[in-house]
């Protein structure tokens, strides 16, 4: 029964204070050159160690080698000019200064493949690797070339697919695409967003996941959540088409969210990473609170398809809080696993 309810995290974990500013999203690096390369690898080792100590079953790099979950990937593409910056509204929510697409985009070289190989050498456990999704990438840039979100997404999907194939060959077990934009642009998701996602996962031999959340616990997101009313039904708009897609796993925000759990019925058949840890609060969940969320989800997800997870990344949290939350996730999953074994 131990391999039931395998735990994992949505992605990012706090970085050590010698590498980046603590409790800060998208902090600049504190090291340079070879020291930075070595520092990132050391941070990855620490992050893995903390996940394993907490009993996390499917481990990750904790996103220790990237500054931003989208921009770090884009930095490795040609066709994007980081000097030509424009201010755009991200996910219809907050302004950000972003680089411009000025020509055909292409992946000139691997982005995370060496990091994934490094992680693979450090652990026997299954590993999950996060990449940005095509639609969320489009939404994090100013497009001065394709003039079409759909066309640009398609080009990004091709670049992501190249990267994903090499990550799988490096021994990654699950590749996850982060698509918070799926929670905002429902018409586009159904018109071309899921098609672009399927292009990104085409021909992959590892498992694939899509992470759709309500964002990090930053003010722009928590303010937005206040406008969503008592029932968050965003997932309802996109689940039918997602259910029919080739994606294996769907990662969702369920802890302290106002998402009606029964919406998960709409993706019956998929594996579901149920967010049972709230990343927008420093309060560490009790194992019982985690278990309660998992029990609710079990009404709509078969037990062999339930993957306890966090709502989103934990980068902005103090390290002790993140460690506490990882342990709570493990302990909560163990409670439910024991109940299932009865």
Assess contact for 264 and 237: CB atoms under 8 A. no
Assess contact for 192 and 169: CB atoms under 8 A. no
Nearer residue to Zn ion within complex by CB, 160 or 252? 252
Nearer residue to Zn ion within complex by CB, 213 or 250? 213
Nearer residue to Zn ion within complex by CB, 312 or 322? 312
239: left (phi over 0), alpha (psi -120 to 50) or beta: alpha
Q: How far is the CB of 16 from Zn ion (least distance, A)?
A: 22
Both tokens of 165, joined, read 């194939």
Contacts of 126 (CB under 8 A, 6+ apart): 6, 57, 58, 59, 173, 174
Taking each helix axis as running N to C, give the angle between helix 33-53 and helix 319-341, from 0 to 180 degrees, rounded to the nearest 10. 30
Nearer residue to Zn ion within complex by CB, 213 or 273? 213
Contacts of 83 (CB under 8 A, 6+ apart): 99
Judged by the rule CB under 5 A, the positions of this chain that interact with Zn ion are: 213, 312
Q: How far is the CB of 250 from Zn ion (least distance, A)?
A: 13
Burial-class residue 75 by CB neighbours within 10 Å (0-12, 13-18, 19+).
middle
Q: How far is the CB of 132 from Zn ion (least distance, A)?
A: 11
Nearer residue to Zn ion within complex by CB, 68 or 151? 68
Give the C-alpha separation, 321 to 314, whole Å.
9
Nearer residue to Zn ion within complex by CB, 166 or 179? 179
Q: How far is the CB of 10 from Zn ion (least distance, A)?
A: 5
Q: How far is the CB of 232 from Zn ion (least distance, A)?
A: 14
Q: How far is the CB of 11 from Zn ion (least distance, A)?
A: 7
Q: How far is the CB of 19 from Zn ion (least distance, A)?
A: 21
Nearer residue to Zn ion within complex by CB, 105 or 312? 312
CA distances from 283 to 42, 179, 200, 252, 312 (A): 28, 26, 36, 20, 15
CA distances from 95 to 64, 141, 148 (A): 25, 12, 20
Nearer residue to Zn ion within complex by CB, 252 or 336? 252
Q: How far is the CB of 338 from Zn ion (least distance, A)?
A: 29
Nearer residue to Zn ion within complex by CB, 99 or 316? 316
In the DSSP assignment, the letter for residue 15 is P
Q: How far is the CB of 129 from Zn ion (least distance, A)?
A: 15
Alpha-carbon torsion 317, 60, 186, 135, what sign?
positive
Burial-class residue 275 by CB neighbours within 10 Å (0-12, 13-18, 19+).
buried
């Amino acid at each position: 029964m131990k391999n039931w309810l395998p735990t994992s995290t949505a992605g990012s974990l706090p970085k050590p204070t010698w590498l980046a500013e603590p409790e800060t999203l998208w902090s600049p690096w504190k090291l340079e050159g070879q020291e930075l390369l070595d520092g990132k690898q050391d941070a990855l080792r620490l992050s893995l160690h903390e996940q394993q100590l907490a009993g996390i079953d499917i481990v990750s790099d904790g996103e220790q080698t990237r500054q931003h979950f989208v921009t770090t990937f884009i930095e490795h593409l040609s066709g994007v000019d980081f000097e030509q910056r424009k201010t755009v509204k991200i996910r219809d929510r907050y302004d950000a200064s972003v680089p411009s697409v000025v020509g055909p985009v292409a992946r000139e070289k691997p982005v995370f493949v060496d990091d994934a190989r490094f992680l693979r050498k450090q652990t026997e456990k299954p590993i999950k690797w996060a990449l940005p999704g095509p639609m969320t990438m489009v939404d994090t840039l100013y497009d001065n070339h394709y003039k079409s979100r759909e066309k640009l997404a398609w080009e990004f999907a091709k670049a992501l697919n190249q990267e994903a194939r090499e990550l799988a060959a490096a021994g990654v077990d699950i590749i996850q695409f982060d698509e918070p934009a799926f929670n905002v642009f429902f018409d586009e998701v159904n018109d071309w967003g899921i098609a672009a996602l399927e292009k990104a996962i085409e021909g992959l031999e590892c498992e694939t996941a899509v992470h759709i959340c309500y964002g990090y616990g930053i003010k722009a997101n928590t303010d937005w959540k206040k406008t969503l009313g008592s029932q968050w039904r965003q997932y309802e708009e996109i689940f039918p088409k997602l259910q029919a897609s080739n994606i294996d796993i769907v990662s969702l925000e369920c802890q302290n969210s106002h998402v009606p759990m029964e919406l998960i019925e709409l993706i019956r058949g998929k594996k579901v990473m149920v967010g049972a840890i709230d990343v927008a609060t420093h309060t560490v969940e009790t194992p019982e609170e985690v278990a309660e969320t998992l029990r609710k989800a079990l009404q709509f997800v078969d037990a062999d398809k339930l993957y306890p997870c966090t709502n989103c990344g934990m980068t902005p949290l103090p390290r002790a809080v993140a460690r506490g939350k990882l342990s709570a996730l493990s302990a909560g999953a163990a409670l439910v696993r024991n109940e299932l074994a009865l």
